Structure 1
Amino acid sequence: MPFENLSPVLSDALTARGYEALTPVQTHVTEAEAKGRDLLVSAQTGSGKTVAFGLAMADELIEDGRLPFATSPLALIVAPTRELALQVSRELSWLYGKAGARIATCVGGMDASKERRALGQGVQIVVGTPGRLRDHLERGALDLSALRVAVLDEADEMLDMGFRDDLEEILDGTPETRRTLLFSATLPKPIVQLAKRYQQDALRISTVGEDRGHGDIAYQAVTVAPADIEGAVVNLLRLHDAETAMLFCATRDNVRRLHASLVERGFSAVALSGEHSQNERNQALQALRDRRAKVCVATDVAARGIDLPTLSLVIHVEIPRDAEALQHRSGRTGRAGKKGTAVIIVPYPRRRRVDGMLRGARINAEWMDAPTAADVRARDQERLMEKLLTPVEHEAEDIELAQRLMAERTPEDIAASLVQAHRALMPPPEDLLDNGPRGRDAAGRPERGERFERPERGGERRDGFEDSVWFRLNIGRHQNADPRWILPLLCRRGHVSKNEIGAIRIGPKETMFNIPRAIADRFAEAVVRTANQDGEDDSGVSITPAPDGPTYPPRRDKGPRDGAPRNTLGRAPGGDRGFGDRSGPRGPGGPGGNDRYKPKPYGQRSPRRPSK
């Protein structure tokens, strides 16, 4: 028998569900060593933890193949989010269905009076979120005096969300003879401390390998200019064309904004965040399951408890707050042995932070540039060819229509119309402002020997900038600062046009630029409105006044090297823009750089060495 250690009623339920063997975590919790003991279990997201604790608590619940009649709950499962609680309830319903289990779900956003009536009618298993369970406990609707098993699912997330007091009050209201099972993807120090307080002689089980990155997930880090984030999202969705994709943002406002933008472009998308009611969340998830929607834009509240079998692409539109959030977000894909892709969109100024996060999480991500519109169109052509060349059986009606078309149009016209109709069904790709034609190494840095296209330097002062005010950016050559994406960022943050921005001088760790004094106050106010509480935008760039101006002079125009034609990229209409310091990979401190290129005060510059 494949499930010889289990009760026959559970074995039958697993077989009917299509299980052929247990996952590692499910096997560990059903071994003889774990029988009757408190458990502290660490397992990867998507490894079958819900069924695992359902099997682990069976010995305390099932008597003679059924669950006994009970006026108060025998088992309590606490989950951090509504979605996860509802998923747990669904999983336990089929697992314990033949055993006659009555299950009540208590979550925020649902009718509390109906939940109290269900609890009063007698249930054996209660699944809920900490806040709602505590509310029922304090009102006397939830009686835990006869509880045999308490399960904390995703305990680390509940502590991160501030539910420690709720959990302690709930556990303090249970009998000391209860069995306590703690299941989590990670076991940080606060979880271990909670376990010591509420568990006795707990068996610690871990199925998480040394490589914390999920083995079935391919990680990619896509470097983009801050102004290209939304365009990169569109191109990634179009390039992968996933059956279901999930996009993670940091705030509700960003979810709302990105969702509206994708719908306007023609994507079938839904949104999930804390501002949506439980009914709206259920409708969104059902649309994804029914394949009426292909894209879900969500906050981290959706990172736990959502199990979509067709989800194969996760895009971190905004960088996760830490390695644990990265792991749990990405864990929505690559579940149950299926392959998935997790893409982190990395604005240039945040590259080092993401690189450190990946190293800390022991995740080997592939660094790459964002896909261009040409990349997407090339992939579309491949998909169309595959689709049209796949052998199919044609109906007689279709063949008759094809013959009529052949009589009216040439094969080339028919094929071109077919391609056009196919392309019209999909949102068009985006042209990115800066997608780096230069090569990059494994860490996402420009390769040695590759030269940035440099703007023309040393031009005359532009009209209107004789009386101007200087501002400072907290990024420089070390953060891959480049006029091609700095200019759109300044326009977006300061609500100005590119003609209203003067000289841009890029230093090693900061960038200076000037604005006409007549609009400086308006620019400064717009910068404050578009920043977060830390004075930065979503990509970590801050803009502050610099009354003293730059402490380093602009570079003199030395002309093209080796007879190459002068590059005028970044040159604004109406005159030359002085972009100042070297912004290419050969700048000081940058990849392939050398300190001998540091700018020196006027009069102290050494002559340029002749080429050998």
Structure 2
Amino acid sequence: MPFRPTHPALAAALEERGYQDPTPVQDAVLDPSVGERDLLVSAQTGSGKTVAFGLAFASTLLGESDALPEAGEPLALVVAPTRELALQVQRELEWLYSKVDARIITCVGGMDPRAEQRALARGAHIVVGTPGRLRDHLERGRLLIGRLRVVVLDEADEMLNLGFREDLEFILEATPDERRTLLFSATLPKPIVSLTKRYQRNAMRIEATSRDSGHADIEYRAVRIAPTESELAVVNILRQVDSQSAIVFCNTREQVRHLHTGLVDRGFAAVALSGELGQAERNQAMQALRDGRARVCVATDVAARGIDLPSLGLVIHAELPNDAETLQHRSGRTGRAGRKGVSVLLVSLSRRRKAERLLSDARIKPNWMAAPSADEIRALDRERLLSDPILSEEIGEEDQDVVRDLIAKRTPEEIAGAFARLYRQRLPAPEDVYDPGEPRSVKPRREDDGRPERSDRAERAPRSRDVGPTSWFVMDIGRRNNADPKWLLPLLCRRGKITREDIGAIRIFDRETRFEIVDAAAKRFAASAEGLDDDITIASADAPPKGERSAPRGERPAERSTERPRFNKKPGGPGKPDRRPAGNRSEGKPEGRPRKPRANRD
């Protein structure tokens, strides 16, 4: 379906840009019934919102004129939550309004405010900025908005989440009463609805967000991992998914630094984006992604707002987001404007419930799977090598002499082997990852089977040496969470800042795991490990595991015998143990319970 009638200058810009069919939100704002009304639009990220509101306020700015008046006080004000998004909006509006010579400037945190002041003094048609910087210019009298005709709040829900409500209210109070107010938001929580009632008049509601799926153009995958193997899984997923560029989300700046360093050390062309970076550094990182010098971006949620890369085909959630809205915003960096993308959540078994709740809230049904193994990556490498376009390219004149020399001096096997090695050397090595599998479901115990609860029986990781005096600790994961020493040991070492030599016996039960730490390291371990991390709680245990008797420090707890006492019907009666001396028993009869030896009275 072609675009509805728009201003001729904007229609020409759309055609030059290759736009043929509008997205649902773009088509909705161009409906004749919209007119000059205020708009309350809920649309997913990546649905073409920037072009949508650029088209929506074109009639307000241009009317019947062929061009905009001379630049002076701004006619439109666009408020965005982050620097990156504001800069992206500026780029989109510049090409959309290029035919009418629109002057568009930005006012964002992290940039030189004096340069922005000079730009405002020269005049502008559209100002795009972040709430804090726009308020600062308004308070200092640098931004004059007496001629303002339209205000756009882009990603309003995110601005409220970031604590900009007071700044937004200040800006809206300062704008003329007769302005149009266009509010675009991925979700419409109660604070957004309250804001619209106060600052919009007879707003037309447009809903371009699907209620049934998180995003039709995104394939969601949930990858099972051991708690200590997040970085290894990220490496293999980046190697598996053949995407020109990818973004990996972390929750903290520290995790961004750690993961970025790990990827660079492995040979990935990676950049980092977080709030601690200056604007110049962030611009350089974004430019490296756009021109192909970097393939992977490791970022926090705030820094990644506004990233719009046509080549971005993969999003990895190295750490789970806090809510479903953040999950959709992160994933929406890919699968934009009709392009396909992949969103991968890394889920340790201890965080399975949180992941399932997030996915349910976002109405997303992912494909659950294990992380790609090193063997799978190597198999893919072989397939990609054999189908590499370089093998089918015509040999140029410059290379023909080299080809003849190689054929004359080397065997085909030597030439092919060298080519394979060169191909492999440019690729980061895949990692060996452990698949913890699906959580186990324990069958309920039959009341009449006479057997103890399964939780009373432990799987033991044997201790092959005497570690000396120890203290017991307990963590709230067990057999049901597929607890396994393969990933428990690295987890304990990381959490407690100890080595494997400091860990004694490990007892794995259905709902918990108990383990020993040598006394020399116990206090250090407790100070670092106790409490909640990775959704796993570790605490001191006053007693050895169930089924163990207390033992002196430095000695291994004794095993409880699983053999039941044998009973005779005679002469002690039904169900009574046979107390007769051993010499009076007939051969072949079952023996009674052994008598306790008398203490030596000498």
* Equivalent position of 2:82 in the other structure: 81
* Equivalent position of 2:506 in the other structure: 504
Q: Does 1:463 pair with 2:458?
A: no
* Equivalent position of 2:543 in the other structure: 548
CA drift at 1:313: 0.6
| Aligned 8 A contact 2:442 2:480 in 1 | no
| Aligned 8 A contact 1:72 1:144 in 2 | yes
Instruction: Flag the 1:446–1:460 CA change in 2: closer, same or farther, 3 A.
Output: closer
* Equivalent position of 1:208 in the other structure: 209
Matched ranges for 1:173-322 at <5 A? 173-322=174-323
Aligned pair partner of 2:532 in 536, 540, 562: 536
2 CA distance for matches of 1:541 and 1:409?
58
| Aligned 8 A contact 1:314 1:333 in 2 | yes
* Equivalent position of 1:411 in the other structure: 412
2 CA distance for matches of 1:340 and 1:40?
28
2 CA distance for matches of 1:188 and 1:428?
45
State the AA in 2 paired with 1:111: D
2 CA distance for matches of 1:220 and 1:237?
13
Instruction: Flag the 1:3–1:355 CA change in 2: closer, same or farther, 3 A.
Output: closer
Matched ranges for 1:295-444 at <5 A? 295-387=296-388, 391-432=392-433, 434-436=434-436, 444=438
| Aligned 8 A contact 1:80 1:158 in 2 | yes
1 CA distance for matches of 2:361 and 2:350?
19
2 CA distance for matches of 1:188 and 1:605?
66
State the AA in 2 paired with 1:463: D
* Equivalent position of 2:515 in the other structure: 513
* Equivalent position of 2:491 in the other structure: 489
| Aligned 8 A contact 1:80 1:154 in 2 | yes
1 CA distance for matches of 2:154 and 2:220?
26
Instruction: Report the 3-state secondary structure (helix = DSSP H, G, I; strand = E; otherwise coil) of the residue aligned with 2:216.
Output: coil
CA drift at 1:448: 10
Task: For residues 80-129 of structure 1, give each alpha carbon's deviation from its aligned partner in whole angstroms, at most 9, with x where no partner exists.
Answer: 00000001011111111221211120000001011112112221211000
Instruction: Report the 3-state secondary structure (helix = DSSP H, G, I; strand = E; otherwise coil) of the residue aligned with 1:412.
Output: helix
Instruction: Flag the 1:52–1:601 CA change in 2: closer, same or farther, 3 A.
Output: farther
1 CA distance for matches of 2:274 and 2:564?
59
CA drift at 1:185: 1.4
State the AA in 1 paired with 2:159: M
Task: For residues 574-604 of structure 1, give each alpha carbon's deviation from its aligned partner in whole angstroms, at most 9, with x where no partner exists.
Answer: xx999x9xxxxxxxxxxxxxxxxxxx99888
Q: Does 1:136 pair with 2:137?
A: yes
Instruction: Report the 3-state secondary structure (helix = DSSP H, G, I; strand = E; otherwise coil) of the residue aligned with 2:526.
Output: helix
| Aligned 8 A contact 1:553 1:601 in 2 | no
Instruction: Report the 3-state secondary structure (helix = DSSP H, G, I; strand = E; otherwise coil) of the residue aligned with 1:363.
Output: coil
* Equivalent position of 1:36 in the other structure: 36
1 CA distance for matches of 2:357 and 2:304?
22
2 CA distance for matches of 1:486 and 1:56?
56
CA drift at 1:262: 0.9
| Aligned 8 A contact 1:248 1:298 in 2 | yes
Aligned pair partner of 1:473 in 472, 475, 499: 475
| Aligned 8 A contact 2:42 2:208 in 1 | yes
Task: For residues 493-515 of structure 1, give each alpha carbon's deviation from its aligned partner in whole angstroms, at most 9, with x where no partner exists.
Answer: 22222232112122333221111
* Equivalent position of 1:47 in the other structure: 47
2 CA distance for matches of 1:42 and 1:473?
44
**Which sits farther off after the overlay, 1-10 or 324-333?**
1-10
1 CA distance for matches of 2:435 and 2:482?
13
| Aligned 8 A contact 1:249 1:316 in 2 | yes
Q: Does 1:160 pair with 2:161?
A: yes
Instruction: Flag the 1:389–1:308 CA change in 2: closer, same or farther, 3 A.
Output: closer
**Which sits farther off after the overlay, 240-249 or 125-134?**
240-249
Instruction: Flag the 1:601–1:131 CA change in 2: closer, same or farther, 3 A.
Output: farther
2 CA distance for matches of 1:112 and 1:605?
86
Task: For residues 280-307 of structure 1, give each alpha carbon's deviation from its aligned partner in whole angstroms, at most 9, with x where no partner exists.
Answer: 1111111011100100000001342111
1 CA distance for matches of 2:414 and 2:458?
45
Instruction: Flag the 1:604–1:175 CA change in 2: closer, same or farther, 3 A.
Output: farther
**Which sits farther off after the overlay, 490-499 or 22-31?**
490-499
Instruction: Flag the 1:536–1:102 CA change in 2: closer, same or farther, 3 A.
Output: same
* Equivalent position of 2:24 in the other structure: 24
2 CA distance for matches of 1:458 and 1:163?
53
Instruction: Flag the 1:413–1:461 CA change in 2: closer, same or farther, 3 A.
Output: closer
| Aligned 8 A contact 1:477 1:506 in 2 | yes
% identical aligned pairs: 57
CA drift at 1:541: 2.1
Instruction: Report the 3-state secondary structure (helix = DSSP H, G, I; strand = E; otherwise coil) of the residue aligned with 1:150.
Output: strand
1 CA distance for matches of 2:241 and 2:4?
43
1 CA distance for matches of 2:181 and 2:563?
76
2 CA distance for matches of 1:3 and 1:519?
70
Matched ranges for 1:109-124 at <5 A? 109-124=110-125
Instruction: Report the 3-state secondary structure (helix = DSSP H, G, I; strand = E; otherwise coil) of the residue aligned with 1:246.
Output: strand
State the AA in 2 paired with 1:547: D
Task: For residues 343-388 of structure 1, give each alpha carbon's deviation from its aligned partner in whole angstroms, at most 9, with x where no partner exists.
Answer: 1111111011101211221111010111111111111111111116
Instruction: Flag the 1:460–1:126 CA change in 2: closer, same or farther, 3 A.
Output: closer
Q: Does 1:145 pair with 2:140?
A: no
2 CA distance for matches of 1:545 and 1:605?
35
1 CA distance for matches of 2:254 and 2:237?
22
The TM-score with structure 2 as length reference comes to: 0.86
CA drift at 1:266: 0.8
Task: For residues 202-257 of structure 1, give each alpha carbon's deviation from its aligned partner in whole angstroms, at most 9, with x where no partner exists.
Answer: 11001112223111110111111111111111111111132101000001111111
Instruction: Report the 3-state secondary structure (helix = DSSP H, G, I; strand = E; otherwise coil) of the residue aligned with 2:37.
Output: coil
| Aligned 8 A contact 2:46 2:337 in 1 | yes
2 CA distance for matches of 1:456 and 1:404?
64
Instruction: Flag the 1:554–1:376 CA change in 2: closer, same or farther, 3 A.
Output: farther
Q: Does 1:11 pair with 2:30?
A: no
Matched residues, number: 549
Task: For residues 383-441 of structure 1, give each alpha carbon's deviation from its aligned partner in whole angstroms, at most 9, with x where no partner exists.
Answer: 11111685321113423322322222221122111111110111111122x224xxx5x
2 CA distance for matches of 1:577 and 1:295?
50
Instruction: Report the 3-state secondary structure (helix = DSSP H, G, I; strand = E; otherwise coil) of the residue aligned with 2:229.
Output: helix
CA drift at 1:5: 2.1
2 CA distance for matches of 1:76 and 1:43?
20
Instruction: Flag the 1:212–1:407 CA change in 2: closer, same or farther, 3 A.
Output: same
Instruction: Report the 3-state secondary structure (helix = DSSP H, G, I; strand = E; otherwise coil) of the residue aligned with 1:469.
Output: strand
Task: For residues 310-369 of structure 1, give each alpha carbon's deviation from its aligned partner in whole angstroms, at most 9, with x where no partner exists.
Answer: 010110001011111110101111111111111111111101110121122111101011
2 CA distance for matches of 1:225 and 1:464?
27
* Equivalent position of 2:103 in the other structure: 102
CA drift at 1:73: 1.5
* Equivalent position of 2:452 in the other structure: none
| Aligned 8 A contact 2:503 2:517 in 1 | yes
Q: Please give the root-mean-square deviation of Cα atoms over the aligned residues, in Å.
A: 2.8
**Which sits farther off after the overlay, 82-91 or 139-148?**
139-148
Instruction: Flag the 1:447–1:515 CA change in 2: closer, same or farther, 3 A.
Output: closer
